[in-house]
Amino acid sequence: MAGDQGGAPGGTSAAAGERPGLKDRLTDGLYGLGWAGVKKLPEPAAVALGRKVADYAWKRRGGSVLRLESNLARVVPGAGPERLRELSRAGMRSYMRYWMESFRLPAMNRQRFADEVLIEGAHHLTDGIAAGRGVIVALPHLANWDLAGAWVTSHLRIPFTTVAERLKPASLFDRFVAYREGLGMEVLPHTGGAAFGVLARRLRAGGLICLVADRDLSASGVEVDFFGSAARMPAGPALLAQQTGAVLLPVTLWYDETPVMRGRIHPPVPVPETGTRQEKTAAMTQAVADVFAEGIAAHPEDWHMLQRLWLADLEPRREPARPAEEERSGKRSEERSA
């Protein structure tokens, strides 16, 4: 159940006509090496490699690890420094498990998707599709959403549509699109309102769309209460449900101590009977956020949120200086240089 708008680690959002630099080409090459090389490793070797990479990154205490710990401190408010370090180490191992699995997915026997993915509440999804209403699956960055998507297309035999943010270099974006399309997903670039229209058409035709939906820092994001603090999440799932009549299903995933990934498809989020479209969207997005919070609190080590999320954690935007302020600043500069 893909559709990650957060992009790939090391990849950045693409700008039209921008030529890739050395860092971009290196990033693309490393991902190409991952898909080409890791899938050829014996599974125990791939698991061991992922754990070593995770532990190395965790010991370096880089910005992503520190941000993960900061986010986990909100999820587990009573945790002390030692507990947070334990959680972040487990979190990095879970995160690298995601990547090792993802690199190996294209070569994996499809029967394993049925054997090693156990999803509760699948009837919510299949009933919605059978009714011809269309289904929207919304899920957070928990465990392996690509593996869940492969389970849907191979085990349930239901194709679906998702979106992906354009990355640079373009070759990296193309790799992700080809990878997910190889798993049976239709992937749309996340470019303005064009993707929204296609998603609405897929739903009106009774189809399935899947969206990773626990982070949206754009102006269109809906403010929600998330673990007691304000955050923004995408309005798209709620708006699509209102406009098309599709069923909106939150999904949470987690790993256990075996090769199995587990998950739960939660009951539908209803469209409120009263209120404006904005009020309905806010209420539905909050309901989705509440389900996400429940799943994340139960399995915090499997939440791969290595970026800023809560509004209080965002760096304040610098407002343009007003003419009077610019004049005073200029005078102070002249005084210092005199």
From the list 330, 240, 336, the residue with the least C-alpha distance to 285 is: 240
CB 296 within 8 A of CB 152: no
Chain-centroid distance of CA 209 in Å reads 14
**Nearest 10 degrees: CA dihedral of 56, 167, 281, 308?**
30
For residues 97, 310, 265, 182, the Cα torsion angle rounded to the nearest 10 degrees is -50
The reported pLDDT for the residue numbered 194 is 83
CA angle, 332 as apex, 328 and 338 as ends, to 5°? 140
Examine the pLDDT at 168 and tell me if it is beyond 90: no
Segment 185-211 mean pLDDT: 91
Cα–chain center distance at 234: 11
Does the pLDDT value for residue 278 go beyond 80?
A: yes
Candidate from 94-98, 165-169, 253-257 with smallest mean pLDDT: 165-169
**Range in 96-110, 179-193, 317-331 with the lowest mean pLDDT:** 317-331
Sheet holding 261-265, edge to edge: 117-120, 261-265, 247-255, 135-139, 208-212, 160-164, 185-189
| Rounded Cα distance, 210 and 215, in Å | 15
- Region 49-65: mean pLDDT is 94
Q: Is the pLDDT of residue 338 over 50?
A: no
Query: What letter represents residue 5's amino acid?
Result: Q
Q: What is the mean pLDDT of residues 166-175?
A: 68
**Is a pLDDT exceeding 60 seen at residue 23?**
no
pLDDT at 164: 82
In 3D space, the residue among 186, 8, 180 whose CA is nearest the CA of residue 105 turns out to be 180
CB atoms within 10 A of CB 225: 12
Place of tokens 């239901």: 158
Of residues 331 and 118, more confidence is placed in: 118
φ, ψ for residue 57, nearest 5 deg? -60, -40
Residue 54: count of CB within 10 angstroms of its CB = 22
- Share the mean pLDDT of the chain: 85
Alpha helices for the chain (secondary structure H) = 22-37, 43-60, 63-75, 81-104, 110-116, 122-130, 145-154, 170-182, 194-204, 236-244, 277-298, 323-337
Instruction: Return the C-alpha torsion angle 257, 261, 265, 266, nearest 10.
Output: 20
Q: Tokens at residue 313, please?
A: 């954690």
Quickly count helices (H) and strands (E) in the chain: 12, 11
Please give the pLDDT value at position 249.
98
Report the range of poorest mean pLDDT among 249-253, 294-298, 317-321, 329-333: 329-333
Q: 103 pLDDT band (50/70/90 cuts)? A: confident
The token pair that represents 9 in the structure block:
């680690």
DSSP code, position 301: G
Amino acid letter, 185: M
Could you say which DSSP state residue 133 is in?
A: S
Distance CA 49, CA 324 (A): 58
Residue 127 near residue 111, CB atoms below 8 Å: no
Task: State CA 199 to chain mean position distance.
Answer: 18
